[in-house]
Amino acid sequence: MEMLSSIAAQQYTATRPATAPKPEEGGAGSAFGTLAKDFMQTLQNSENLSQAAMTGGADPHALVQALAQTELAVETAVSVRNKVVEAYQEILRMPV
């Protein structure tokens, strides 16, 4: 019995790399990473512009535009999160 479990463990170890996910160029993970970077860049730009406006080094019109862009980005992120949670809850409701 010990011999069979040892062989099974060796075969599992040998086949594990073949079933491991491989990072793909242009896949969904890469697209999500790009979206997250763009979102963070939008927030960072808005924050930098807000700080510059407080010290008098930025145009108020540019500040309003940056804040509107940030608000839109946050609303989009929240709606995507809500859709993901809704899909997860729907999966949990599926009969097994």
Look at the chain and report how many structural domains it folds into: 1
**Average pLDDT of the segment spanning 15-21:** 67
> Which class for 49: exposed (0-12), middle (13-18), buried (19 or more C-beta within 10 A)?
buried
Distance CA 63, CA 50 (A): 6
User: What are the pLDDT digits (tens) for 32-61?
Assistant: 888 889 999 999 999 999 999 888 888 888
Give how far Cα 35 sits from Cα of 26, 28, 63, 76, 80, Å: 12, 11, 23, 11, 11
pLDDT at 75 over 80: yes
pTM of the model: 0.62
Whether 69 contacts 42, CB under 8 Å? yes
- Give the range of the structural domain holding residue 43, as residue numbers without chain letter: 25-93
17 occurs within a structural domain: no
Pairwise pLDDT comparison (41 vs 3), residue with the higher score: 41
Residue 75 falls within a domain, yes or no?
Answer: yes
Residue 31: its pLDDT value, please?
A: 82
pLDDT at 26 (0 to 100): 60
The verdict on residue 10 lying in a domain is no
